[in-house]
Structures are given as structure tokens and as C-alpha cells.
Amino acid sequence: MVSNTIKLSLGSLLVLLFFNCKNAEKRDKNVIKISTDTCRYYRYDAGQIISNLGCKNCHLSLNIEKIDDRGSTTFRGLAAMDSLKLIDYAFTKKHKGWYSKSGTLKSAKMDTLSKCEIKGVIRYIKDFGRDIPVAAQ
């Protein structure tokens, strides 16, 4: 009787240890996944992409109304857009195809931006509407 109780206890302990180890393994995988995400936002780099694409030549970046006197959406107007709409507007529809591989502005190479660069550009545009100041140290 006593030996059966001991066997049962040891068996239960073994099962518990097994599941405990499996859970710990899952947590480790998550930690590895997080630490390999290297996409970081650098305002200067995002600004350079914006400059190279020439966004501010048409979407005037002065802090004025959302639509300028020519009827074009200003940079502030872009910043007011929902992020997903902005991605669709800028990077999916690609300005009526101008920025696509066969478009008239194919040299701007919008198609070659990585997902991380696109995220950076979107954040740069959204931050413009948040009036985040730039500081000298």
C-alpha cells in the first residue's frame, strides 16, 4: 500500500516536471524572438528617406492647413491620416503608379524600401502632426 502511494507520488512528480520543462522552453523561444527584432526608429534616417523621395516638394511641410491653396494635401494633412490609410496611400497605391517599377518616378525606388524603413517613414510623418520638438543638447 505504502509502496503504491510512493509510486503514485513519484509518477505525479515526473509528469509535473515534464510539463514544467516544456513551459520553460516556450518562454525561452519568446525571449529569442524579441531580441532579434532589429527594426529601430532613427528620426534622421527616416527624414533622409522623406527627402530623397521628395515627399515635401508636393506635400508642403509648413505647419499650415491640411490642404494647401493648390488643393494638395500638406504634410500636416498626411500626418492626420490613419497609419494604415497612409501606408495604403503612399506605398500601396503608390501615387497613381508614379512610384511603381514602371512608373514615371521609378527612379525614386519606393518599391525598394524595407518594411522597417516604411515603418520609420510612417512614424516620421505621424510625429510631424504630434508637434514633437527637436532639441539641441
Partner 1 sequence: MENSLINTLQMHFALLQNQPLTGGIVAKNLRITDNGSGELSLYGDFTITLKVLDLTTNGAPNLNSLMTFTQQVISNKLRGGGYKSGVIIHKYNSLQKKFDRTKTWTYSIRYNFNITVNVTQINMLSQLKGNDFVLAVVDSIGYQHTDQYGRRQSSAGLTQGDGGPATVSYSEWQKNKYFGVHEFFHTLGLDDIEDSSKKNRLMYHLGDNAGQIVSDTERGNMLNFLMTNIGDITQKNYANINLNTVTRLRTFLNNSTNGFKYNKAKFR
Interacting residue ranges for partner 1, rule: CB under 8 A: 40, 42-44, 47, 51-54, 56-58, 60-65, 67-70, 75, 98, 104-105, 107-108, 128, 131-137
Report the SS3 class of residue 29: helix
The span from the CA of 59 to the CA of 73, in Å, is 6
Q: How far is the CB of 72 from partner 1 (least distance, A)?
A: 9
Nearest one of 122, 123, 97 to 111, comparing CA atoms: 97
Q: How far is the CB of 86 from partner 1 (least distance, A)?
A: 18
CB–CB of 46/120 below 8 Å?
A: yes
> What DSSP character marks residue 108?
G
Place of cell 494635401: 73
Q: How far is the CB of 51 from partner 1 (least distance, A)?
A: 6
Report the SS3 class of residue 67: strand
Q: How far is the CB of 25 from partner 1 (least distance, A)?
A: 30
